[in-house]
Amino acid sequence: MSPPSPPAQRLETAESDHQLRFRLRKLLSVARSHKRAIVLTHDNPDPDAVASACGLAFLLEHGAHVHAQAAYGGIIGRAENKALLKVLHLPIQPVGRVEASQFDLVCLVDTQPEVGNYSLAARSAPELVIDHHPARPASLLSAFHDVGGPAGATSTLVTQYLRAARLVPGPTLATALFYGIKSDTRDLGREVEGADVDCYNWLFPHVDKQALSRIEHPQVPARYFAAYHTAYERARLHGNGQACVVDLGEVYVPEIVPEVAERLVSLEGLRWSLATGAYKGELYLSLRLNDRRVNAGKVVREVCSAFGGSAGGHGAMAGARIPLDDRTQEQLAQELARSTPP
C-alpha cells in the first residue's frame, strides 16, 4: 500500500514559503544596489503604516546593510497613534525633517504611487512598494512590489519578510508590528487572512505587554470628547436605518474622521457609515461597511473620482482626502453623501 499523500495545506505552505524567499531575495537585491533608503508611509499614518515603515527600515538595515529612515507626512494626531510613537520611541521622522536628496532609494509602505496620499519630497520615483491594499498599475512598474496581499495589514507582509530573513524584531518593533496587525484587522475580526493570524501569533511572545496596554488605553484631550459629541448630534440615519452619515465640520485632527465612521458602523442593523471632516483646506472622508457584497475601496474611488484628491481602501473600509477649493465643507460633504450608493 502506498503511503498517504501529504496534507494539501502542507504543500501549499511549502510553496508559499518558497515564493516568499524568492520575493525576499529580489527585495534585498534591489535594495543592495543603493546606499540610503527613505521609507515613506501615507500622510497622517495609522499604526499599520508606522509599524510597517519601521519594520521595512529594520529589514533594509540588517538584511541588505542599507541605511534606512522611516518617515511620514501630515500629522499623527489620534491618541493611540501618538501613544504608539511616545511609548515605543519608534525611529520614524516627519518627512519635513528629512533631507530627501540624501536618499537614493524611495520605498512606500501601506500606500502606492498612484494613490498620491503621501508627501514624496524626493525626485526619484518609488522603486520598492509594499501594501496590502489592491494593486494599482503604477506599483507594477516599480523595481520591487508586493501589493494586494493576501493580508489584512501591511505589517503582516513586512513581518513575513522579517521571518523569511530570520530577523527577530526586538520588543519595540515587535509591539509596533503586532499592534499594526491588531488595529487594522480589528483584533483579527475583520478581513483577516491566514498570514495575519500566523504573524500575529509569531509576534506575540516578543511583544512588550505593558507598553501595548499603554498604547491601547491612552489619555485623550477634551477635544476628543467634543468631537464625539458633535458626531452623535449631527449623525443622521438614511434608508430605513441602514446607513448613517455625519459631517463633523472642522476637526482638530484628521484621524478622528475614520474613528467616528468606525464607531458608528457598529450600530445595530447598519449596512454602512460615512463620516466627513475638514482639516486645513481639505475634506477627509471615511466609509465603513458591514455589507460584504460591496467593496468600500471601489465605492470611494468611483465616488471621489469627480472631486479630485486621493482615495484608497479595500473591502470594508476606505477613505479619501479632497481639496475644498471654492466649495464649503458642507457643500462637498453633502455632494459626497448623495453620491454614495444606497
Each residue's pLDDT expressed in tens, for the chain with a length of 342 residues = 444 444 444 444 555 788 999 999 999 999 999 999 999 999 989 999 999 999 999 999 999 999 999 999 988 988 889 999 999 999 999 998 988 788 999 999 999 987 777 887 555 689 999 999 888 898 999 999 999 878 999 999 999 999 999 999 999 999 999 999 999 998 998 888 999 999 999 999 999 999 999 999 999 999 999 999 999 999 999 888 888 999 999 999 999 999 999 999 999 999 989 999 999 888 999 988 887 777 777 778 777 777 777 777 766 778 888 888 777 767 777 776 776 655
pTM over 0.85: no
| 318 beta partners | 287, 313
Q: For residue 332, what is its C-alpha cell?
A: 462637498
Antiparallel, parallel or unpaired: β 243-250 and 272-279: parallel
The predicted pLDDT at position 300 comes to 80
Asked if the domains at 8-216 and 222-339 fall in one CATH topology, the answer is: no
What is the DSSP-derived secondary structure letter of residue 243? E
The predicted-structure confidence for 264-313, as pLDDT tens digits, reads as follows 999 999 998 999 999 988 899 998 888 777 777 777 877 777 777 777 77
- Sign of the Cα torsion 138, 51, 252, 333 reads positive
CB burial readout 3-14, b (16+ within 10 A) else e: eeeeeeeeeeee
Type of residue found at 153: A
184 contacts 192 by C-beta, under 8 angstroms: no
CATH dotted code for 222-339: 3.10.310.40
Q: How far is CA 305 from CA 159, 297, 299, 312, 336, in A?
A: 33, 12, 10, 11, 11
Q: Note the CATH number of domain 8-216.
A: 3.90.1640.10
Instruction: List C-alpha distances in Å: 206 to 82, 173, 174, 201.
Output: 22, 9, 6, 10
Report domain extents, the chain: 8-216, 222-339
